[in-house]
Every structure is written in structure tokens, then in C-alpha cells.
Structure 1
Amino acid sequence: MSEATGPTRSNVDLEKRVLHIRSAQFGKSRWVPIHPTTAAAMRRNARKRDRES
């Protein structure tokens, strides 16, 4: 669960719509696709955070 709830900007490529999961099961890392609506929501959230800081 923490893989999905704690990504940083360096762990996600919103243009390619993939999330980098680091040190997952058995210490492996992988890129996983994210749904277009998830990427759009993450983009909106990032813009909102940028405006507030």
C-alpha cells in the first residue's frame, strides 16, 4: 500500500504515465503503468501544491 500512497515526483513520469516502485517484493524495483485519470489527478495535485508553496 505504501508504494501507491507515498510517491515523490522523482518516482513518477506523468507524461509516460508510469510509477517507479523502488525496493518492492524481494528488493526489486519496477515501473508500473498508471491509468490516464490517475495521471491527470496527480498532475492537478502537483500544480495545486506548486501554487500553495
Structure 2
Amino acid sequence: MSAGERVKAKAEKVVGKTVRKAAHAAHKETLEAKGAALEARGMMRGAKERAKGSLKS
């Protein structure tokens, strides 16, 4: 997994979690869903990169 992709995946996950928790505290359901989607996208990006890395080894 390249360092750039690893950072991008982690950043998406952290930003998504932050947005989701802030929206939950402010009772903004739509924004909370968008944060959860961003967090999930970061998690999937990380999983994809880990799978690519394991296939190369």
C-alpha cells in the first residue's frame, strides 16, 4: 500500500467520523449519514489497498 493512499484512506475515515459525531450532536441526520458514508469509503479504500498489498507479496 503506497503511503499516499494509506494517508488518504485514514484521512477520509477520520474526517467521516468527525463529521458523523458532530452532526449527531447537532441532530443533523442528513449530515450524519454523509459522514458515515465518508467514513465507510475510507475504510473500504484502506481494505482495498491492504488486499492489493497482500497480493503483491
Greater relative contact order (Cα < 8 A, sep 6+)? 2
TM-score in terms of structure 1 length: 0.43
| Larger gyration radius, structure 1 or structure 2 | 2
Higher share in strand: 1
Q: Comparing both structures, which one devotes a greater share of its residues to helix?
A: 2
TM-score, normalised on structure 2? 0.40
